A and B are shown apart, each in its own frame.
Chain A
Amino acid sequence: MNLDLDAAATAFRDEVRDWLAANVPGERLPSVDTPAGDAAHRAWERRLAGAGLAVVSWPAEYGGRAVPPLHALLFEEEYHAAGAPARIGQNGLFLLAPTLLAHGTAEQRARILPPMARADEVWAQAWSEPEAGSDLAAIRSSARRTAGGWLLSGQKTWSSRAVVADRAFGLFRTDPGAERHRGLTYLMFDLRAAGVTVRPIRQLDGDPGFAEIFLDDVFVPDADVIGAAGDGWRMAMSTAGHERGLTLRSPGRFLAAARRLVTLWRTAGDPTDTGLRDRVADAWIGAQAYRMHAFASLDAQPAPFAASATKLFWSELDLALHETALDVLGAAAETHPAWTDGYLFALAGPIYAGTNEIQRDILAQRVLGLPRDRGRER
């Protein structure tokens, strides 16, 4: 066992570190979900892409460098350590792109990935519906066959980034007669197409981070179906694995927060409060555990449903990091957006990407092999 980086990894990490040190904006950009923030974050993405750092793990033909997964983890560590801006394209970059690379056609990859890498096209996810949250297979929005494609109808909700995004991807029912997990199809659609209405929803933090999408006979060409019609559930679960796993929530994010928390404790903590000190230690341990788990996963065959354990771990770690920071700051904490913003964001972690209760169901039944409750259909 060793944690040594070879010369190529070290050189890559140093290049990323140097570029970020020279280019990360000195001031925080406006929120990504505001018009000014939208423009600023897209401009930042174009600079990243210009340096060849927007999508380092992708094949070169789509704007990447085809670096190995270890390098991608190192990139994330450097990115978060440098305090670089939020990735406005994250839904596309980390959820849709891995699905396209695994299941998309060559035409789809060539058409969709390069503009995604430059943030010329920003993507929103459109999974949930008013009656299909944790029970995602209860989706009612439909896609009806028409000449050359499909007509989408229905309502999506909690659609992250839909207010500023250009396009969206999601699941639609194409065969109302089929058993609920079958008959679903994975489709991409234009958020500015005729028949689309986006209604912003203000989140707990005040920003319109997600939205409702109303669809009224929205045309989608056959070229924008991922995989086969009726095979959408399998495609979506492949994306869910990315959302729950490492690609969306890399260790770098939590390492950076743990480092900030230790600094906060050193400068503002009460050294006699050993209970709080132990919570700082535990948060640091958790960030290290997540990092080492990611490194270990590089050399192991991914176990089925491993992303469910990962999702439980990072979402609870994120909360622990921020809860602890607020407790260190004490009564003044509410005036520190540097921590309260992260806290409000962390509160959403156990809910999105499949609630933690759903992840525990999956772990218990699919990994531990415990019997399903006969009272619930899954």
Chain B
Amino acid sequence: MRLVPSPEQAGFAATLHDLLTAADVPSAAARWADGDTAPGRAIWSRLAGAGVTGLIVPERWGGAGAGAADLVIACEVLGHHALPGPVAESIAAVPALLTALGEDGPKDDRAADKWLPELAAGRIIATLAAPPWLPYAADPDAADLVLLAEPGVVRLARTGTVHASMDPTRRLAEVSASGPATRAAVAHALNLGALSCAAQLLGAGHALLEAAVAHAKTRSQFGRPVGSFQALQHRLADVAVGLEFARPLLYAATTAGSAGDAARNVSAAKVACGEAAHRAARAALQVHGAIGYTREHGLGRWLTKVRVLTLAWGTPAQHRARIMAELTR
């Protein structure tokens, strides 16, 4: 029984946090929003150097062969910095799909050999559509590999019409199959993606709470810091409680269990992390007031990403329905 990060895992998270703090993510995100993904991809390359993009790629394909726990710990930090790019797709779901193909797929299928070393090394970024959880593929302009996953099968895909997102650092592509269907463990890969998304949400929620608390301590009205007002204190206390009790669900969902348990636990984590992050986002904007509503301030990067990631990788309604289907089976 252990449900807290090991010292090594905590150290890994601290390393990533320092890397991203030094990397000027805000500027890269602004350029990404303007259509120039190069500075953002440079940050992705540095993350690859730290082992993030190959985290769950097996060692035989150049990765670290790590488990889901290391993955969520990394994704929480990436979410804390609101890193642009298809995080859950490229470092969780697609590597898991390709690994399944390489280990259990047809003998002549070379997809794992071809793509996994490239993903692990950070030379490519992958994205994915998987209706109904992911009706579109995120960030097609940054992706070198596009997959379409459907129940039990996966195919290569090509992107079509691209839509703008409420999150200015996201674009969403319609996809169509461009290759044959290959049987693969899609459900496991999508659960890993949803879990990584939940981790990003939790990290973003903590960043929003930190920003709100920092602002509340320094912004003064009526001759005193606004953080001394009880209405605001209680709202932020509730945000802290929500985040505090979401994290253990995230960690629990990384542990081994039956398929039904896995589905339930992943869904619980996705719902709880999404709700906690959403409450943090609403509170953070309210605490900041009008300054938080400006593009210049930067809070909006977290506000919009939290809202879209809450709906991506399975909406709260879809995950609640899945939990109840498992519980009443």
Interface positions of A (Cβ within 8 A of B): 1-6, 9, 70, 262, 265-266, 274, 277-278, 280-282, 284-286, 288-290, 292-293, 295-296, 298-300, 309, 312-313, 357, 359-361, 363-365, 367-374
Contacts and interface: CB of A to CB of B under 8 A. Distances in A.
B164 to A, nearest CB: 30
29 contacts: A1-B2, A2-B1, A2-B2, A3-B252, A4-B1, A70-B1, A262-B327, A281-B320, A281-B321, A282-B271, A285-B268, A289-B246, A292-B3, A292-B252, A295-B248, A298-B3, A312-B241, A313-B244, A357-B234, A359-B237, A363-B237, A363-B241, A364-B227, A364-B236, A369-B213, A371-B225, A373-B228, A373-B229, A373-B230
Given A3-B252, A360-B238, A284 B1 contact: no
Contacts of B224: 371, 374
Contact of B249 (A289, A368, A371): A289
Mostly helix, strand, loop or mixed at chain B's interface? helix
B227 to A, nearest CB: 4
B323 A285 contact: yes
Contacts of A284: 268, 323, 327
B251 A278 contact: no
B217 A1 contact: no
Contact of B245 (A262, A295, A313, A360): A313
B320 A282 contact: yes
A364 B234 contact: yes
Given A2-B256, A293-B248, A370 B213 contact: yes
Given A3-B255, A370-B216, 20 more contacts: A1-B5, A274-B317, A280-B324, A285-B249, A288-B252, A289-B268, A292-B249, A295-B248, A296-B247, A309-B241, A309-B245, A357-B234, A363-B237, A364-B236, A365-B233, A367-B237, A370-B225, A370-B228, A373-B229, A373-B230
A370 B244 contact: no
Contacts of B271: 281-282, 285
B234 A288 contact: no
B3 A1 contact: yes
Interface residues of B, number: 48
B312 interface: no
A373 B256 CA distance: 47
A9 B1 CA distance: 10
Nearest to A9: B1
A215 B230 CA distance: 36
Contact of A299 (B4, B240, B328): B4
B227 A266 contact: no
B56 to A, nearest CB: 14
Interface centre among B69, B240, B317, B321 (most CB of A within 10 A): B240
Nearest to B328: A266
Nearest to B229: A373
Interface string B311-329: 0000011001101100110
B48 interface: no
Contacts of A359: 237
Interface in B240-277: 240-241, 244-249, 251-252, 254-257, 265, 268, 271-272
Contacts of A369: 213, 217
Contacts of B217: 369-371
B212 to A, nearest CB: 9
A368 B213 contact: yes
A371 B228 contact: yes
A191 B248 CA distance: 43
B245 A290 contact: yes
A365 B213 CA distance: 11
A285 B272 contact: yes
Interface centre among A1, A274, A371, A374 (most CB of B within 10 A): A1
Given A292-B251, A298-B1, A374-B224, A274 B256 contact: no
B230 A295 contact: no
Contacts of B323: 281, 284-285
Nearest to B230: A373
A369 to B, nearest CB: 7
